[in-house]
Amino acid sequence: MKPSTELIDGHYLPSNSRNAVKMPLYLSSNYVFNSAQEAKELFQQKGVQSEENDNDHEKPAGMIYSRLEHPNLILAESRLAAYEGADAALFFESGMAAISTLFMGMLAPGDTVLHTSPLYGGTDQLLRGLLQRWGVHLMEYAPHESMEEIIARIEGMKNTPSIRMIYVETPANPTLQTVDFGQVMELKARIGRLTSRLPVTSCDNTLLGPVFQKPLQHGIDIGIYSATKFLGGHSDLIAGALVCSRDTANLLRGVRSQMGGTASPHTSWLITRSMETLELRMEASQRNAVQIVEFLKGQPQVQQLFYPGLLPADHPHHGQASGNGSLLSFELRGGQTAAFRFLDSLGLIRHAVSLGGTESMACHSATTTHSNVPAEIRQIYGVSDGLIRLSVGIEHVEDLIADLRQALKAANTGAH
Ligand SMILES: Cc1ncc(COP(=O)(O)O)c(C=O)c1O
């Protein structure tokens, strides 16, 4: 089956569910064992799935308890894994549950995370706060830094850091700055030679994936999603996902069971429903975004416009992504005052955080999603006071442009 068919028909046999066309919602916290021997065997395998049964509802393995796994979870995971071309996928109750489980599962005190910036505000806060408090060190690099500069910085440190993980977000929220996977893979190899241990590479792929970008196909070990965004797609759920190899999934599935962030039956069912239209939604909102970028280019109130599609044709981003998505940001002349006037004047476009829904949404990153990032660091990242982040939905583009036009006018004049 083609990947898009997998999202609709893959891994589900109606005869396993009383011939229901769609898998029903399995609202059960636990499952009855067929025998004491079966219970013993299931507990022996707990947290580790056999290759045969892994992520495959057509050969259902026994279930124990829905924090470990349940039929709706297995279906959602098998379809995402198939679409992404990954061995395995894991769903969580939020993007942050996925990210925190990844960190807890892969890192130990004394390890260093080498990461790009900016990252989503919540990830940034987790790394700088809890993770540092628990003895994990951070080292940042800017995507424009050359390999030699980064390696020289590592070599120049008094004690060679134990770089266990490279963590990138591309495009980054909210500046749309991109990271070159080729450079990440080279960094991994160079650090491996320097420290005698290959770091794990991970990429927050929320903004373009899985339709327009598949990091695992470029050698990245772990793909990360806030499934609240495009995978869920209707602003009616909170969820997260990881895609990775079978071994990593077995490790992280165990950590997820211990930390308790497993996606519930209801969340998994909604995600499965939403993924059927994933390609349609992401393509439609991208078409709208391209037209909105063209409109914004000509607006005098817009000082700077950020959209991956505006990068030069020979930029590495275009070699690793098949599209540019539907998230863009722009800096208004007049700083925060103009930005607030603009947001307060929007009619159709929702003034809300989050992104990737069918409806368009705009927000002021500096005072909302990235308000926990210190002001001086926000300036370095380019999260300026006039920056508006716009998530373009699938409404009629003429309605969206009309709303943007009147809000830009109001931002300029102060008239609401
Ligand atoms: C790029 C990115 N990663 C991770 C997250 C966190 O996901 P969640 O809000 O589903 O926990 C978000 C949320 O906005 C995000 O935009």
pLDDT at 292: 98
Buried b (16+ CB within 10 A) or exposed e, 84-117: bebbbbbbbbbbbbbbbbbbbbbbeeebbbbbbb
Dihedral sign for Cα atoms in the order 50, 52, 54, 56: negative
Residue 384 has pLDDT above 80, yes or no: yes
- Cβ–ligand 1 distance for 173 under 6 Å, the answer yes
pLDDT at 342: 98
* Distance of CA 105 from the midpoint of ligand 1 (Å): 19
Residue spans of alpha helices (H) in 158-264: 181-195, 246-259
* Distance of CA 232 from the midpoint of ligand 1 (Å): 12
Probe residue for ligand 1, chosen from 90, 101, 120 as the CB with the greatest number of ligand atoms within 8 Å = 120
Q: Count CB atoms within 10 A of the CB of residue 258.
A: 13
Residue partners of 17: CB distance under 8 A and separation at least 6: 23, 24, 71
Give whole-number Cα distances, 10 to 19, 88, 216, 309, 339, in Å. 15, 14, 21, 32, 45
The CATH fold of domain 278-413: Aspartate Aminotransferase, domain 1 (3.90.1150)
pLDDT at 52: 41
Q: Which CATH architecture has domain 95-227?
A: 3-Layer(aba) Sandwich (3.40)
Does the pTM exceed 0.85? yes
The yes-or-no answer to whether 95-227 and 278-413 have a common fold is no
Single out the residue of 284, 281, 307 nearest to residue 294, CA to CA: 307
| pLDDT > 70: percent of the chain | 95
Query: What CA–CA distance (Å, rounded) separates 226 from 392?
Result: 17
Residue partners of 248: CB distance under 8 A and separation at least 6: 88, 200, 221, 222
Which atom number of ligand 1 is nearest to the Cα of residue 369?
A: 14
Q: Whose CA is nearest to atom 9 of ligand 1?
A: 95
171 contacts 307 by C-beta, under 8 angstroms: no
Question: Each residue of 269-301: pLDDT tens digit?
Answer: 999 999 999 999 999 999 999 999 999 999 999
Estimate to the nearest angstrom the gap between the alpha carbon of 206 and the chain centroid.
3
- Cβ–ligand 1 distance for 394 under 6 Å, the answer no
Break the chain into its structural domains and give their ranges: 95-227, 278-413
Instruction: Measure CA of the first residue to CA of the last residue in the chain; give whole Å.
Output: 52
* Distance of CA 353 from the midpoint of ligand 1 (Å): 10
Band of pLDDT at residue 57, cut at 50, 70 and 90:
very low
- Cβ–ligand 1 distance for 100 under 6 Å, the answer no
Band of pLDDT at residue 149, cut at 50, 70 and 90:
very high
Probe residue for ligand 1, chosen from 126, 206, 235, 242 as the CB with the greatest number of ligand atoms within 8 Å = 206
- Cβ–ligand 1 distance for 104 under 6 Å, the answer no
Question: Each residue of 13-45: pLDDT tens digit?
Answer: 999 999 999 999 999 999 999 999 999 999 888
Q: Whose CA is nearest to atom 12 of ligand 1?
A: 226
Residue 339 has pLDDT above 50, yes or no: yes
